[in-house]
Amino acid sequence: MRSLHIPPLTPTQRALLDRLYRTTEALRLRTRAQMILLSADQRLKVPQIALITRDSEATVLRWLKRYRAEGMDGLQAAPRPGRPSPLTEAYKAELLRLCAAAQRPATI
């Protein structure tokens, strides 16, 4: 497997990745940020990062390449083809409103 490192991060890049890693609830996005931070800060190689993140070396290499090519935007998953949802945004909003109204108030 080819070795690939992320060049040293600027303070702004480091802060964005660190905030993404600490605040996102999307596990995959958090793992991608961790891969970049491990490569840039600790200068770890792809096999070492793969062991830490429990991903394949090919996956780590793919995300490192995408980050180098696209920056923070490269960490987002690409849209996948598939059937569009039959539910409209208006229907979803109404459903959420009704569910919230149906919940019991908190007891003291």
- Return the domain boundaries, the chain: 11-75
With beta carbons less than 8 A apart as the criterion, state whether 89 and 77 touch: no
Mean local confidence (pLDDT), 44-56? 94
Going by C-beta distance under 8 Å and a sequence separation of 6 or more, which residues neighbour residue 69?
Answer: none
pLDDT over 70 at 73, yes or no: yes
With beta carbons less than 8 A apart as the criterion, state whether 36 and 64 touch: yes
- Among 23-27, 37-41, 59-63, 99-103, the minimum mean pLDDT is found in 99-103
What is the per-residue pLDDT for 78? 79
Q: Of all helices (H) and strands (E), which one includes residue 39?
A: helix 27-41
Q: At what angle do helices 27-41 and 57-70 cross, to 10 degrees?
A: 80
Going by C-beta distance under 8 Å and a sequence separation of 6 or more, which residues neighbour residue 44?
Answer: 38, 52
pLDDT over 90 at 84, yes or no: no
